[in-house]
Amino acid sequence: MFPKNVFLLVAGLLIALPVLARDPAPLRGSVVDERFMSTVLRDNRIGLNPERAIKVLLPPGYAKSKRRYPVVYFLHNAWYGPKQMIEDGRAQRLIERAFADGVVQEFIFVVADYTGPTTGSLYENSPVSGRWIDYTVDEVVPFIDAKYRTLARRESRAVVGDFFGGRGALNLAMVKAEVFSVAYAMHPVATGAGDIPWSSLEVDWPRMHAAKTYAELGGLGRTQIFWAIHQAFAPNVAAAPCFCDFYTEMKDGKAAYNPDRALAMQKSFLLDESLMESAAALRTLRGLALDWGRFDTTQAHVISNRQFSRKLEDLGIEHEAEEYRGDPWNRTWTEDGRFAERVLPFLRKHLATAE
| Whole-Å CA distances, 299 to 25, 96, 160 | 40, 34, 22
Q: Find out whether 320 and 305 touch, Cβ atoms under 8 Å.
A: no
Q: In the set 6, 23, 33, 142, which binds a second copy (CB under 8 A)?
A: 23
Q: Minimal CA–CA distance to 212: which of 235, 243, 234, 233?
A: 243
Binding mask 94-123 for a second copy (x = CB under 8 A): ------xxxxxx------------------
Q: What span, in angstroms and rounded, lies between the C-alpha atoms of 311 and 42? A: 37
Binding mask 178-217 for a second copy (x = CB under 8 A): ---------------x-xxxxxxxx---------------
Identify the three-state secondary structure at position 159: strand
C-beta closer to a second copy: residue 238 or 355:
355
Gap between the terminal Cα atoms of the chain: 24
Q: Is 262 in the site for a second copy (CB under 8 A)?
A: yes
Q: Give the H or E element holding residue 126.
A: strand 125-126
Shortest spacing between CB 297 and a second copy, in angstroms: 5
Q: What span, in angstroms and rounded, lies between the C-alpha atoms of 309 and 313? A: 6
Binders of a second copy in range 217-246 (CB under 8 A): 219
Binding mask 36-55 for a second copy (x = CB under 8 A): --------------------
Report the 10 Å Cβ neighbour count for 149. Answer: 14
Binders of a second copy in range 274-313 (CB under 8 A): 276, 279, 294-295, 297, 299-300, 302, 306-307, 309-311, 313
C-beta closer to a second copy: residue 12 or 142:
12
Q: Tell me how far apart the 2 most distant CA atoms of the chain are, in Å.
A: 86
Q: Is 257 exposed, middle or buried (0-12, 13-18, 19+ CB in 10 A)?
A: middle
Q: In the set 32, 264, 321, 352, which binds a second copy (CB under 8 A)?
A: 321
Distance of CA 299 to the CA centre of its chain: 20
Q: In the set 266, 278, 304, 332, which binds a second copy (CB under 8 A)?
A: 266
- Name the DSSP letter for residue 170: H
C-beta closer to a second copy: residue 132 or 292:
292
Binding site for a second copy (CB under 8 A): 4, 8-20, 23-25, 27, 100-105, 193, 195-202, 219, 257-259, 262-263, 266, 276, 279, 294-295, 297, 299-300, 302, 306-307, 309-311, 313-316, 319-325, 327, 330, 336, 348-349, 353
